[in-house]
Amino acid sequence: MSESICFVGEDNYPVLNPSHAHEYFGGESVQQTLLAKAFLQLGYRVSMVVKDHGQPQGETVDGISVWKTFAEGAGIPVLRFLHPRATSILKALDRADADVYYQSCAGMATGLVAWHCARRRRRFIFRIAHDTDCIPGQQLIRFWRDRKLYEYGLRRADFIAAQGERQRDLLQQHYRLSSSPINMAVEEPAVMSAVRDVDILWVNNLRSFKRPELLVDLATQLPARRIMMIGGAVPGNERLYADIEARARQLPNLEFMGAVPYHQVNSFFARARVFVNTSDNEGFPNSFLQAWIRGVPVVSFFDPDGLIARLGLGSAPRDLDAMRESVDSFLCDEPSRVAVADRCREYALANYAPVAVARRYIALGAMTSLSSP
């Protein structure tokens, strides 16, 4: 019986280890860490492959063995693809010596993990993190070489998990590959805040497809509302970050917080009355779950599988004018907002508990011989 699983996520360490919480991480880092802890709770040996943040090789954090690869920026441009990046990832995969490897986010690591698993006769699970992962040429991958490595790995995954029906359909349409929709995970808050002093909350890494400029436009149109904007600069998007920060700081009703560590950002969700998402495309944002579990309706242009509109978990406006009207409606009608908030929390609790999500992988045979103890 397989008893070990390794999560491969280069940016996971700041989520796993709060002492590095100020460093960059993405939504999949949160998902992998929550799922890793869930498998640990179920009795499995769990390891993780991450970047080098100066931590000891093979250290244990909260029961999870951590194997480091390369440090950010290490190596000579062009040549560093091979060394230290590819070589250090493959060495870390060997050191983990797991029965099952789990990797998410389209990139060259997908191909390396697939190659390692084929060579070692181990099981490979790939998790779709964004709708564009399923569309050739639209992946959020900079280099052609890395895209080809990704597609090599995608086609060799033993099990592919999708975030919803849309991703399953896109993957089948463009790659003729099957996948299984599996819910994401969210951590239940220990205490619910009774203070809702932030009218509108926006949380995202600042990059172009997140369209942060629309939040600034919304704040201009709602001068009486207290709005909070949280998000860090993504490598390659530093100019966008600077532009948004400069615009935001000109508005007295918009508080620009910059990057906030995962372990602290949930306190802002707990204070929010409405959560807003301005992205034009996504996978399934962690922020939706962080909002719903705390009773915060979501108003978003992007609605994964029509979930928001279908289940009444907020609203899915078509444009900025409709978003302004929807947000204002929630904020002006507190009984209605509270009713939706209660529905959001009940839905999140029933469908996204981390252990339940881990058991779903097991039930679908994602790990073949890996079964619940």
Tell me if domain 4-185+353-363 and domain 198-351 are identical in fold: yes
**What pLDDT score was predicted for residue 369?**
52
CATH superfamily of the 4-185+353-363 domain: Glycogen Phosphorylase B; (3.40.50.2000)
pLDDT digit string, tens, across residues 216-259 = 999 999 999 999 999 988 888 899 999 999 999 999 999 999 99
- Whether the pLDDT of residue 372 is over 70: the answer is no
**What pLDDT score was predicted for residue 23?**
82
Give the model's confidence band at 2: pLDDT under 50 very low, under 70 low, under 90 confident, else very high: low
pLDDT digit string, tens, across residues 127-148 = 999 999 999 999 989 899 999 9
Asked if 112 contacts 93 with a C-beta cutoff of 8 angstroms, the reply is yes
Report in angstroms the alpha-carbon separations of 80 from 86, 88, 250, 291. Answer: 8, 11, 41, 39
Residue 80: both structure tokens together: 């560093």
Mean pLDDT of 57-69: 97
Q: What residues have CB less than 8 Å from 85, skipping those under 6 apart?
A: 69, 70, 75, 108
In the chain, domain spans: 4-185+353-363, 198-351
Mean pLDDT of 267-281: 93
Sign of CA dihedral 65, 67, 73, 74: positive
Asked if 366 contacts 161 with a C-beta cutoff of 8 angstroms, the reply is yes
- Whether the pLDDT of residue 73 is over 90: the answer is no
Mean pLDDT of 365-372: 65
How far apart CA 270 and CA 168 sit, in angstroms, is: 32
Report in angstroms the alpha-carbon separations of 153 from 99, 181, 213, 372. Answer: 17, 19, 35, 27
Q: What is the mean pLDDT of the chain?
A: 92
Q: Are strands 64-68 and 45-50 parallel, antiparallel or unpaired?
A: parallel
How far apart CA 50 and CA 92 sit, in angstroms, is: 9
Mean pLDDT of 101-105: 96
- Is the entire prediction scored with pTM above 0.95? no
**What is 198-351's CATH number?**
3.40.50.2000
- Whether the pLDDT of residue 373 is over 90: the answer is no
Mean pLDDT of 83-105: 95
Report in angstroms the alpha-carbon separations of 79 from 74, 85, 141. Answer: 10, 9, 18
**What pLDDT score was predicted for residue 211?**
94
- Whether the pLDDT of residue 121 is over 90: the answer is yes
pLDDT digit string, tens, across residues 6-43 = 999 999 999 999 888 778 888 899 999 999 999 999 99
% of the chain beyond a pLDDT of 90: 79
Q: What residues have CB less than 8 Å from 152, skipping those under 6 apart?
A: 110, 111, 114, 115
Q: What residues have CB less than 8 Å from 359, skipping those under 6 apart?
A: 42, 372
